[in-house]
Each structure stands twice: as structure tokens, then as C-alpha cells.
Amino acid sequence: MTAEQSDHQAADDAAALSSAPEPADEDHAVPTRDLAPTAEPDSEQITSLIDLFCAEHGQDLPRRFLRYLVDHGKDAFDARDVEDALLIIDDADPDLRRLRFLIRAASRRHKGRFREPALQLARRAVSSDLDGSRFNEHTSAVADRFASTADLLAPRLREAESRRRALSVLLVSIDVLAGGAGLSPEDALPVLRRVLPDPDDTDRPRNPRLDRMAQLSDPNMTLDRLRGLLDFSEPWERSVSLAQADRSRALSELETSARALADEEATSRRLREEAASLQQELAAKCQEIARLNDQLRDAGALGKSDVSAVRARSLAFLQGRLRPLLETAREAGNLDPPRAAVMKRMVGDAMDDVDGEIQWLTSSD
């Protein structure tokens, strides 16, 4: 949607807040109160704003006036006619009902060809009522302009003698600010809810759901009014539908996340238990390694002691026993003549001693 289309949509939505419903087609007409002027033959032409505001009776006056302009190739209201109408509008249309019907018809008929002229006429028609507000401050935010307008009119809405005019001025200001400055229902509705007086029938039980449904079955409801009400509420229905879809999606995602979280917590709990078990095993292995290290250290110390003992014994055997025997045998062999018997005895003794050492070494395993 383009910005221009968005502005037109905002204007159409806000117009549903302001203008009285266009009189129903004759085929669908139902009895109403305070709606359109009573019927008069449609053949009488409405050729000017003066005719529109001064006609004593007539049906579809705005439609007939706009049709006259189209038939005569006009795209705007006659400037002199506008000035003359502004001079008599407060007396001819004190409650601005015909002005509101003109705004509605100009917005809906002939592709909105006369919307801007009608809004400019309306803006000038209510400006004196809104002196002291920010209604005409074009540099201010439109929401602030409307809030200032509504605050100015709020006391008049509570007085019986000024209520009808004040309400019409308020609703005309919605049309003007929606069409010319982009006022949206989101801007207007909270302000209206704040400034409108409470209903007089405060003793009637309040049921918001039934009250909303009663608006659809209002005895004064026409097909056009019902269609307009449905069109007005459609953006909120779409928003509610999207919100419900978002809520369902969020709940589904929440459930999925909750299940995933439960799985993660279970996995985390299992891993913590496994880690605790592994830590216990590690501690046991560390103790076993420490014990083996102690045994290895002790074994090393004993091994060193055994080697020293064996070395000492071997050295004592070689030096103290075997060497003397061999030395004696060599001396006996060096004699002339050699003493063979001595040599034989010494060698025999040495062999016996060597066999004894070998037996000792073998038995130490």
C-alpha cells in the first residue's frame, strides 16, 4: 500500500467515527429518528450550497447537489457560493447535520472528487467554534491537534444546550483532520473515550459484549450502516486474528522450547552424574597411581640395597677367597719343579668356592 493509499484509508476509517450515515436507499429505508430530512420529490435540483443548507425539506440533498456539479462539469464549489454559505450556515444548519452529510457524500461519491472542497468548507465552518485550540496549527502533530480540539469541546459536551453542536463540531474535526492531516482511528478513539460524557442511563447493567452486539441489531440499522460498521471494524478484526495467530504460534514455540529445555535439563543431569562418577574413578586411579609410585620408589630403594650387598659379597669373595687360592696355585706352578699337587688342590678349592657362590646367587631369586 502506498503512502497516499494509506492516508486515504486512514481518512475513510476516521470518517466512520464522524459522519452520520448517509440516508438509506429508498428500497432499504427503515424508520429512523434524527437522520435525514423528510422526503421531497427528487426532481427539484439543488444547484448551490445555499440551496442545500436552506431547503426546508429534501432527501439526499448532498447527493443531488454533487450530481448537479458533475452534470455541469464542475470539480469544486463556487467560491462566492462558499462565502455565502459560511455566512448563513450557523443559522441554517446550527447542528451541522447537513454539513456532515455533505462531507460523507463528497467522500464516498464520484471517486472523492469533491472531498477536498467539502473538507475546506467544513474546516472554515467550525473554526470559530475551535478558537483557543490547536485545530488549525498545521505544524503540530495531528494527534495533538485533535486532542486539543476535543479538550476544548469536552465541557460543552456535558451541557444539554450545547451538546449537539459540540458533538457535530467534534465529528467534523475528525473528518477534517483525517482527510487533511492523516488522523487515524488509533489517534482518535482514546481521545474520544476520554472526553465523551458517560451515558445518562448509568443504572442500566453494563455488559460490553452485549452492548457491542446490540449495535449490530439496532432497530435503526440499515444495510449501508451495517456495511460501514463492518468495514470500520475490519482492521481490528484482522489485527485480532493476527494477534491470535501470533499467540498460538508463541504458545506452540513455548511448548517446544519447554520440551527442549526439559530434554536439555535431563541431558545436563545425566552428564553431571557421569562427571561425578568419572571424578570418583579418577580419584581412585590417582590413589592407585600414588600407591604404585610408592611401591616403585620402595622397590627402587630395595633394589639399590640388594645390588650393594651383592657387590660387597662378590668383592669379598673375589678378593678374600678366590684371589688368594689362585695366587697360591700360581706360585706353586712357578716352583722348580712345580708343585702339581698344591696347584690341583688350590684350583679344586677355588672351583668349590665358585660353585657355592653360584648356588647362592641362584637361590636369591
Q: What is the pLDDT of residue 41?
A: 47
| Domain shared by 11 and 143, yes or no | yes
Residue 181 lies in a domain: yes
C-beta atoms surrounding 141 within 10 Å? 12
| Domain shared by 41 and 177, yes or no | yes
Q: What is the pLDDT of residue 301?
A: 67
| Domain shared by 41 and 135, yes or no | yes
Q: pTM for the complete prediction?
A: 0.56
C-alpha cell at 316: 669379598
| Segment holding 37, helix H or strand E | none
Residue 174 lies in a domain: yes
Contact call for residues 21 and 224 (beta carbons, < 8 A): yes
Task: Report the distance separating Cα 309 and Cα 311, nearest Å.
Answer: 5
| Domain shared by 164 and 270, yes or no | no
Task: Report the distance separating Cα 101 and Cα 22, nearest Å.
Answer: 6
Q: What is the pLDDT of residue 302?
A: 65
pLDDT tier, 58 (very low <50, low <70, confident <90, very high otherwise): low
Give the closest residue to 89 by CA, choosing from 121, 117, 114.
121
Q: Over 60: is that where the pLDDT of 281 sits? A: yes
Mean pLDDT, the chain, rounded, equals 80
Mean pLDDT of 310-320: 74
Task: Report the distance separating Cα 98 and Cα 62, nearest Å.
Answer: 8
| Domain shared by 11 and 117, yes or no | yes
Please say which residue of 198, 231, 253 terminates a domain: 198
Task: Report the distance separating Cα 175 and Cα 190, nearest Å.
Answer: 16
Please say which residue of 167, 198, 229 terminates a domain: 198
Q: Over 90: is that where the pLDDT of 315 sits? A: no
| Domain shared by 43 and 107, yes or no | yes
Residue 326: domain span: 243-363
Task: Report the distance separating Cα 13 and Cα 117, nearest Å.
Answer: 19
Domain count, the chain: 2
| Domain shared by 179 and 32, yes or no | yes
Mark 293-304 as b/e (b = at least 16 C-beta within 10 Å).
Answer: eeeeeeeeeeee
